[in-house]
Amino acid sequence: AQSVTQLDSQVPVFEEAPVELRCNYSSSVSVYLFWYVQYPNQGLQLLLKYLSGSTLVKGINGFEAEFNKSQTSFHLRKPSVHISDTAEYFCAVIAGGTSYGKLTFGQGTILTVHP
């Protein structure tokens, strides 16, 4: 089974500041990793995903994440945030090498960008 821990439930930052949202996972098998964003009253939108290859993954809206296998982490970063980045962010894993699409999500991190 897999589990995901998002280390911060809320992260407040000022506009144009850098931000890091932390995610650690636990799994007995290899996993694929995802970050999703949820704006108020909307569904989830994929920001980026790591399947294999380069450990630094670039996504939409200027976000990137780095997969660290030894630390079982997949932290999300953005060098300069905007007010429009205010949303809830979810880290998720899925067991690799299977034909199942069951995502296991973390509890979410609410990012609030202040002017």
Partner 1 sequence: KAGVTQTPRYLIKTRGQQVTLSCSPISGHRSVSWYQQTPGQGLQFLFEYFSETQRNKGNFPGRFSGRQFSNSRSEMNVSTLELGDSALYLCASSPSVGSTDTQYFGPGTRLTVL
Binding stretches for partner 1 (CB under 8 A) = 32, 36, 41-46, 49, 51, 90, 92, 94-108
Between 36 and 113, CB nearer to partner 1? 36
CA dihedral 105, 78, 45, 54 (to 10 degrees): -70
Between 99 and 115, CB nearer to partner 1? 99
Between 85 and 88, CB nearer to partner 1? 88
Shortest gap between Cβ of 80 and partner 1 (angstroms)?
26
**Separation between Cα atoms, residue 57 and residue 65, nearest integer Å:** 5
Shortest gap between Cβ of 36 and partner 1 (angstroms)?
8
